[in-house]
Amino acid sequence: MERHSFFKQVHKGIRALAGDLVAAAGRTDFRSRPEVEALRERVEEAFAVFEAHARHEDGFILPLLRVCAPEVAADGEADHRAQSLRLRDLRSALALAAGAGPSAPVLGHAFVLGLSRFHGEMLVHMADEEERLMPALWAAFDDDALRRVHAALLESLAPSEKLATLRWMLPAISPAERADLLSALRASAPPAAYDAIVRVAREALTAEEWARLEAETALAV
């Protein structure tokens, strides 16, 4: 039986979000101020997601690991500190490229390379979380305990953050996972909140993905 995971679905979304950001940076003409400003906005939105995800792990998941696997927890904390510094440096690199005039293409590509390196490091970090952190938690806690912690984490999110998370996560998970997630939300969310979730799903998914989800879950606003 598959065990409850804190990471599986949200990591799929973050991988897709980060990959799209790297691709967008690579397409940017750093000689064009509007394109650079559009990239900076997209960077800030994505970086806010990465930082919030790390904060949630620091607040709810790493405390469990400190009890059952302190060395693994220490590795996770060190990774998060390194990621925070990397994001700070990337913001500075993009700001430098934005104001570089004739040197903007060169400095812009340096930012793209730095962002690509961060992307690769984050992919390894998330794989470590799923392959090292989660098994340590499974060995120490049953699924009911893990679900309670996960529920507390989700309850700590503002409604706007929950909807934003669904917007980038839903397209990245499998059709079966979407159907299960929406069915669970329909059973637990107030009607107005569920209607907002359905609208986000309809906007985030392709027409084909939406039609399949609608058929499998009998969605209705």
Question: What is this structure's pTM?
Answer: 0.93
- 57 sits in which H/E element: none
Query: How far is it, in rounded angstroms, from Cα 20 to Cα 14?
Result: 10
Residue spans of the domains in the chain: they are 1-156, 159-221
Cα distances from 218 to residues 4, 81, 183, in angstroms, run 25, 44, 9
CA 8 to chain centre: 11
Phi, psi of 71 (to 5 degrees): -70, -40
pLDDT tens for residues 169-205? 999 999 999 999 999 999 888 999 999 999 999 999 9
Evaluate the CA torsion angle 14, 17, 20, 21 in order and state its sign: negative
Task: Give residue 1's pLDDT.
Answer: 84
Query: How far is it, in rounded angstroms, from Cα 134 to Cα 157?
Result: 22
Which tokens belong to 131? Answer: 């392959």
Residue 219's pLDDT band (cuts 50, 70, 90): low
Of 130, 179, 176, which is closest to residue 10 (Cα–Cα)? 130
pLDDT tens for residues 78-90? 999 999 999 999 9
Residue 221's pLDDT band (cuts 50, 70, 90): very low
pLDDT tens for residues 32-71? 999 999 999 999 999 999 999 999 999 999 999 999 999 9
- 1-156 CATH choice from 3.40.720, 1.10.10, 1.20.120, 3.30.1490: 1.20.120
